[in-house]
Structures are given as C-alpha cells and as structure tokens.
C-alpha cells in the first residue's frame, strides 16, 4: 500500500469518529507527522473517489463521510468550491434551487458565488431557468435535467407567457369531442342508460382526438388534456364520473340554466390556478380576466 493510501485510511478513520465532519485543523492535529502536501493529496483522492464529501460551514471547509446511497454525478476535474456548489444544485433536482438558498448553504459571498455559478454554466454542468412563479428570479439545476412543470408552467406557457388563446382552443375542441360522443350515442337508438354509457369517454380518447387534429405544435400528454377537461367541467358543460379503478370518465351535459357566478369567474376555469399567489407573475391583482369579469 502506498503512502497516500495509508494517509487516506487514517483520514477515513478520523471522519468515521466524527460523523458531523472534520476540518483542516482536526486533520493537522491528528496527522501531525504527515506533511501538509501529502495530506492534501490524500484528501483530494478521497474526494475524487467519492469517499468523502466537502461542505462549507462559515469560512471553514468540512469533510465528512459520504452516504453510500447518495452518489454525486460531479465531474472529477472541478475544484472544491465548484464541487460544493454543484452538489447543492444537484440536491435541488428538477425543481431547481434559488441563488439565495445556494448562498446560505455554501456560505460564499455573492461575488464569489456568481463567479463559481458562471464557471459551472460555462462548463455546461448547470443551467439557470426562469420560473413562471417569479419571472425576475432564476433557479439553478443540473444542465441535463428537464425542468419541473411547476417551474416552466408546462404546456400552457411559452417563454414565461401564459398561452390563453391556446388553452381556449383546446377547451373548445375537448367540448366538441364530448358533444360528438353524446350526439352519436343519441343517434344509436339505444335506451337512456345505454346512451349515457355511450356518451362517456376517457382522457385517452380525448388525447387521441386532439393528437389527430394536429392543433398543437408541442407534445401534450394525458395529464395536460385532463387539466383542460376539468375546465370544461368547471364551465358546467361536462361532468366528471369517478370509476372504481380510480380513473375518471367525462361526458357532455346540457346546461339549461346559467352557471352560478362563482363558476363563471376566471378562477373557476383557470388551468394554472395552482401557480396563482400573492406575488410573482400570476396574481389576482394583475389578472386581466378578473378585472374584465368584475367590470
């Protein structure tokens, strides 16, 4: 066994005795006979091998044993500060992490943090993504991740702008399909219960219809179409029928009386109401649809 590996085992033993982590002072005190340059070489090898992970507490670097079940994808050719930031960003997953949270966890000053983030962006290891919930703020995530819908707004947003016309067109076409199913069922000459059954359709049925129409330039999945179908239900033009298997069927219904005001208000049919908040891009105060409805 070479000298660096021997020193490495000594560092591992020390780190195991202190699960909260060890710093350079702990290493210097415990490995007094080891030259500093050899100690650094052994530390770097353990970091590159993924045995230790590096954190920052205040202005002090902390080394601790890495959880075997938690594997980092950090490249081996980045420096310690870049590795700290990379690991923090990696923990954010596809929902990303705000720069403020990165600063708190890394304890780096803003100028140094911006420099490290820029370096990682230039190396195409991380990327900054604008959130629909706060257009002036960015979240950071690993470069190869697809942002979560809560960040991009899903199919209903294009460059952080809500596609109201697109949603309206889909709403109309989904309702048209439900009515076509209802009319076809009525023309079958079957009894009332059979007609009702024939009028019902699954989200998959609607998804095929919309896909065949080719009205969307982007790929829509069944969850997207179910969101639109819910707006048709909120309009009072369809009903949603729960199934034993946990799924739902949809059926067009007649609307002999006007829908109540609460259903007519934009909030009742808004497919992005979950993104509406007191601050950010989507708020009741900035909503033109509520203003028009109130007028």
> Domain ranges in the chain?
3-65, 80-153, 164-252, 262-294
Q: At what angle do helices 203-213 and 164-187 cross, to 10 degrees?
A: 110
By the 8 A CB rule, do 155 and 220 touch? yes
Q: Looking at 23-98, list the stretches that DSSP marks H as alpha helix, in order from N- to C-terminal side.
A: 24-30, 36-48, 80-91
Q: How far apart are CA 225 and CA 231, in angstroms?
A: 10
Instruction: Give the architecture (CATH level 2) of 80-153.
Output: Orthogonal Bundle (1.10)
Q: Of 111-125, 150-164, 246-260, 270-284, where does mean pLDDT reach its minimum?
A: 150-164
Note the pLDDT tens digit of each residue in 72-122.
667 777 887 888 888 889 888 888 888 888 888 777 788 888 999 999 999
Sign of the torsion formed by the C-alpha atoms of 44, 46, 50 and 56? negative
Q: How far apart are CA 168 and CA 163, in angstroms?
A: 9
Region 6-32 average pLDDT:
86
How many CB atoms lie under 10 A from the CB of residue 130? Answer: 17
The span from the first CA to the last CA of the chain, in angstroms, equals 82
Q: How far apart are CA 66 and CA 47, in angstroms?
A: 9
User: Is residue 62's pLDDT more than 70?
Assistant: yes
Whole-number pLDDT of residue 176 = 94
Look at the chain and count its residues. 295
CATH of 3-65, one of 3.40.350.10, 3.20.20.70, 1.10.10.10, 3.40.309.10: 1.10.10.10
Whole-number pLDDT of residue 73 = 67
How many CB atoms lie under 10 A from the CB of residue 155? Answer: 22
Q: 3-state DSSP call for residue 149?
A: helix
Nearest Cα neighbor of 293 from 255, 250, 259, 262 is 262
Q: 3-state DSSP call for residue 247?
A: coil
Strand-pairing partners, residue 162, are 157
Q: Which residues are CB-contacts of 20 (< 8 A; sequence separation ≥ 6)?
A: 64
The side-by-side arrangement of strands in the sheet containing 97-98 is 97-98, 134-142, 126-131
Any idea what DSSP says for residue 160? T
User: Is residue 241's pLDDT more than 90?
Assistant: yes
Asked if the domains at 3-65 and 164-252 fall in one CATH topology, the answer is yes
Region 38-62 average pLDDT:
79
Nearest Cα neighbor of 74 from 144, 125, 35 is 125
Maximum Cα–Cα distance for the chain, whole Å?
95
What is the band of 216 on the pLDDT scale with cuts at 50, 70, 90? confident
How many CB atoms lie under 10 A from the CB of residue 241? Answer: 12
- Topology of the domain comprising 164-252: Arc Repressor Mutant, subunit A (1.10.10)
What is the band of 201 on the pLDDT scale with cuts at 50, 70, 90? very high
């Amino acid at each position: 066994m070479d000298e660096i590996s021997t020193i490495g085992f000594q560092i591992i033993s020390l780190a195991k005795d202190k699960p909260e982590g060890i710093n350079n002072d702990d290493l210097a005190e415990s490995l007094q006979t080891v030259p500093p340059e050899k100690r650094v070489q052994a530390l770097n090898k353990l970091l590159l091998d993924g045995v230790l992970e590096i954190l920052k507490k205040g202005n002090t670097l902390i080394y601790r044993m890495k959880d075997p079940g938690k594997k980092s994808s950090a490249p081996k050719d980045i420096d310690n500060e870049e590795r700290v930031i990379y690991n923090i960003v990696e923990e954010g997953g596809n929902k990303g992490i705000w720069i403020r949270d990165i600063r708190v966890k890394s304890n780096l000053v803003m100028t140094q943090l911006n420099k490290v983030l820029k370096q990682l962006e230039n190396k195409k290891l991380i990327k900054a993504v604008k959130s629909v919930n706060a257009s002036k703020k960015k979240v950071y995530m690993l470069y190869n991740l697809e942002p979560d819908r809560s960040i991009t707004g899903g199919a209903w947003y294009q460059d952080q702008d809500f596609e109201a016309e697109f949603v309206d067109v889909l709403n109309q076409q989904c309702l048209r399909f439900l009515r076509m199913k209802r009319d076809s069922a009525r023309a079958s000459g079957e009894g009332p219960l059979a007609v009702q059954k024939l009028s019902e359709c699954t989200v998959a049925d609607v998804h095929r219809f919309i896909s065949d129409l080719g009205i969307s330039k982007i790929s829509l999945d069944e969850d997207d179409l179910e969101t639109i179908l819910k707006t048709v239900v909120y309009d009072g033009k369809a009903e949603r029928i729960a199934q034993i298997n946990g799924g739902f069927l949809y059926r067009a219904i007649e609307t002999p009386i006007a829908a109540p005001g609460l259903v007519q208000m934009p909030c009742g049919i808004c497919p992005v109401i979950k993104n509406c908040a007191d601050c950010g891009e989507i708020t009741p105060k900035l909503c033109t649809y509520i203003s028009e409805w109130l007028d």
